[in-house]
Amino acid sequence: MNRPIYLDNHATTQVDKRVITAMMPYFTDYFGNPSSSAHVYGWEAEAAVKQARSIIAQAINADETEIIFTSGATEANNLAIKGVAEAYFTKGKHIITVQTEHNAIIEPCQYLQSLGFEVTFLPVEKNGLLDLNLLSKTIQDDTILVSVMTANNEIGVIQDISKIGAVCRKNEIIFHTDSAQAIGKISLDVQKMNVDLMSLTAHKIHGIKGIGALYIRRKNPRVKLASQIQGGGQERGFRSGTLCTPQIVGFAEAVKIALQDLDAENQRQQKLRNYLWQKLSLLDGIYLNGDLNQRLAGNLNISIDGVDGSALLLALQSAIALSSGSACSSNSTKPSHVLKALGHPDNLAKASLRFGIGRFNTQEEIEKVAEFTLKTINNLRQFRST
């Protein structure tokens, strides 16, 4: 049976076989606990974790001691936001974030609101980008944290993180960025970007699910965090729990592979993305969501006038695996909060498609996707008009 063409690579990605190969020995031969320091099995696992930590740190120009492993970006985001709130609440209780953030940012912030913190959810411009002047005006004397995602998970827009970080540094405010969709897809440098906390994950870049990391700056400034998981004191006390060596090794391998082919792969994906947009934009009533230039190479998010969103996804799913927005809210009947933040009415926010192009997609696949999508939209419009 022919399976649908997979174009939901912002939700998750097919694991690269090279990642699996790198992981396999640490399930069977080198299975020790990296915290066990009394024998060779522990030393072998510890060495593998140290090497992986170094690879991931180098990918964002950090020191290896600043990388804390987590179960994914959601946990890293919770540790960053709640950890700062608990550690700095005597200094202030004001947090700034953006309306288009992932729910892994929005919901922890809403939780903190229930505890008495003040959270400002900044709007974005119609292209999805944050107005830096608005950010500066929103900062208060008691602002302790700003959190802005590097690349949006729905519309692929890349924020000007360096300038946002500079505003935070000038005002001596801790700056966190969710880079789950950015690691291995664009160049990241926590020093040049003025980032104090950065959330990462493996499964968006053909690594496995269930492993992520949080970068925590150690100097200039040294960031304090209250741990959210207590126990064995692993990961400098920020995140207790036995480390899963195979997952960590696989994470590092996925990062290494992605960075080796970064420029060439971005050019290839952008060519496929532009071809798809060129074909789909031939129809009237097709709207691009987010800035076309300042976005991830493999992202195309569109809204379609004159069709029912649920009917469109249902009609496409036999041939194309894709979504209308975040995988975490794919079962929701509510319109995307990201598209609503761009100013879309409910009908356009619901009738949207997120095409996520990945490493294993081909030109032939994209051509088939374009043809089938155009045909489906035309059929639904004709049906609706009869």
Residues noted as catalytic: 328
Contact 210, 250 (CB under 8 A): no
Under 8 Å between Cβ of 110 and 119: yes
Angle at 78 between CA 72 and CA 84, to 5 degrees: 135
How far is Cα 179 from Cα 85, in angstroms, rounded to an integer?
20
Through-space distance between the first and last CA atoms of the chain, rounded to whole angstroms: 34
User: What tokens does 176 get?
Assistant: 């966190």
Residue 115 has which token pair?
Answer: 């505890």
Q: How far is CA 124 from CA 121, 143, 145, 152, in A?
A: 10, 20, 18, 12
Contacts of 238 (CB under 8 A, 6+ apart): 68, 79, 83, 214, 216, 225, 227
Cα→Cα distances 160→60, 228, 271, 354, Å: 16, 30, 23, 22
Cα–Cα distance, 173 to 223 (Å, whole number) = 10
The SS3 assignment for 176 reads: strand
Extract long-range pairs of 39-47: CB within 8 Å, 24+ residues apart: 45/243, 45/245
Whole-Å CA distances, 360 to 5, 204, 371? 10, 13, 19
Alpha-carbon span 382 to 317, nearest angstrom: 19
Task: In whole angstroms, give the CA distance from residue 357 to residue 299.
Answer: 6
Run of H or E residues at 270: helix 262-280
CA distance 296 to 179: 12
At 69, give phi and psi (nearest 5°): -80, 140
